[in-house]
Structure 1
């Protein structure tokens, strides 16, 4: 007898949440196992949910809800490829079901298979053009290749169907921001926050938009709101520190960078930013230590070598600085590095080598001549 797949697709699970364990007094059905699986999924017991759902599928291998819930359980335990395989199998059973096709598309995205995902989203739209989810999926596909204009069209299509679709509004704001319209992006982010004022991701992207506009004060407010909800968000601490630096608030910047480093001490850019802040505070020894840590993490970090060398020159460690400038010349010969070499040789009393280095700097960038003349004419320190 052929199974009625339409009924499987539309069956209600409204009473599922009250069922939490097998009933020993009756023979278990696939529906019973699905109820248990859903309860366990909601409780975060994904592996136990998977066991229950497998028991249900043993009784009814083509059950729509069991297959979907099994795929969700697999995804939640990190078995993304296996989850996609279940969704793809279910899509062969329900090829006209727009929701299942859309679920499959999102599973493909989770596996980095964007072309496959797009194919499923297109199929979903063909089956039901008034279903908003595949339009969101298509927008994400376009965003993945940085085609934000096409992504924006898809977000708008989703919002035409469902004007209060939070994920689509948020995605639209990100796309609009990527296209450079930060004012419009800020307006959309604020409308999303009216729906959910406690979403740290929205606050973070709102802060980025304010930052891009040069509105550091509002950007810091956004980052602080993120950190109230998500205090271990190291990127928010780092970005907040950069803004404090730009405002001349160096102590606040240093605190922010130290917080970011507490969370993750393997980010070379944060150590670099900390070193820069120490330089602005005149603490050149601490600056050198921070820049050295950045270089340990990222040995090709050219700017870290340059800033570390400058800090060493300021603290009187001329030969340490010279080694670093020479390292920059190995990585990427620049006028700035040659100028630094000249300054070091000058400080060490070797005017001949200093002049050779200065000549290299001027040959690469004639604007350095004025700076070099000023350096040569600078009064000797007492």
Structure 2
């Protein structure tokens, strides 16, 4: 969005709509319109725009990812998973949908499928913080504590203010019986603004 040209997002949306009246088959313009509408939290119209985007440009993987995000916002994990799978079919080496697929599988309780998808995400983008953190959580669910520590530690080294990853790292250390390390991690989580559950703080304090 060019700052010089548009005073606000509404002007930008009006400009995109005017372009679409002249050329309604431009997938990129529909995609840009969807992103602009999302910034206004107009999920219904944004979804329509992204559907038009993939209808006109079936290889526009980002639009499938955005549709997945809207489905996730609605709590529809199945559709989110489906859209992200479609994104990987048109762009197999695009890390973001693999990360989202892993997250969906983890939410559905399938940690094995989650790890496989997240490994692909990290292979295509080794510094994909969200995928690293999600993979750490998947390993934790599977009782693979050393793998969980490795992935979560890398996530927080890349993004030191990533509170949920610090909290999960604290959980792993607690599970390993390393309470001083768990205490250190929850303090980092709190510094980032993350709300650590009171009972977990009490458990750590009782074991120090």
Aligned residue among 216, 220, 232 for 2:81: 220
Counterparts of 1:276 and 1:322 in 2: how far apart (Å)?
Answer: 18
Q: State the 1:240 CA deviation.
A: 1.7
Aligned residue among 136, 142, 150 for 1:275: 136
The answer to whether the 8 Å contact 1:271/1:294 transfers is: yes
**1:190 corresponds to:** 51
Counterparts of 2:188 and 2:23 in 1: how far apart (Å)?
Answer: 57
**1:377 corresponds to:** none
The answer to whether the 8 Å contact 1:318/1:347 transfers is: yes
The answer to whether the 8 Å contact 1:325/1:340 transfers is: no
The answer to whether the 8 Å contact 1:186/1:210 transfers is: no
TM-score (norm 2): 0.82
Q: What RMSD in Å do the two structures reach over aligned CA positions?
A: 2.8
Deviations 1:135-185 (A, max 9, x none): xxxxxx56xxxx433322222222233333443333223333333333333
TM-score (norm 1): 0.48
Counterparts of 1:335 and 1:188 in 2: how far apart (Å)?
Answer: 36
Counterparts of 2:47 and 2:201 in 1: how far apart (Å)?
Answer: 46
Q: State the 1:267 CA deviation.
A: 2.8
Counterparts of 2:162 and 2:24 in 1: how far apart (Å)?
Answer: 46
Counterparts of 2:27 and 2:196 in 1: how far apart (Å)?
Answer: 49
Aligned residue among 102, 106, 115 for 1:241: 102
Q: State the 1:308 CA deviation.
A: 0.9
Asked if 1:343 is matched to 2:203, the reply is yes
3-state DSSP of counterpart to 1:251: helix
- Unmatched 5+ stretches in structure 1: 1-108, 119-140, 349-382
Counterparts of 2:198 and 2:48 in 1: how far apart (Å)?
Answer: 48
Asked if 1:290 is matched to 2:146, the reply is no
Assess, with a 3 A threshold, how the Cα gap between structure 1 residues 290 and 183 changes in structure 2: closer, same or farther: same
**1:320 corresponds to:** 181
Counterparts of 1:238 and 1:290 in 2: how far apart (Å)?
Answer: 14
**1:251 corresponds to:** 112
The answer to whether the 8 Å contact 2:183/2:204 transfers is: yes
The answer to whether the 8 Å contact 1:322/1:340 transfers is: no
| Number of aligned residues | 208
Counterparts of 2:163 and 2:49 in 1: how far apart (Å)?
Answer: 39
Q: Which has the larger radius of gyration?
A: 1
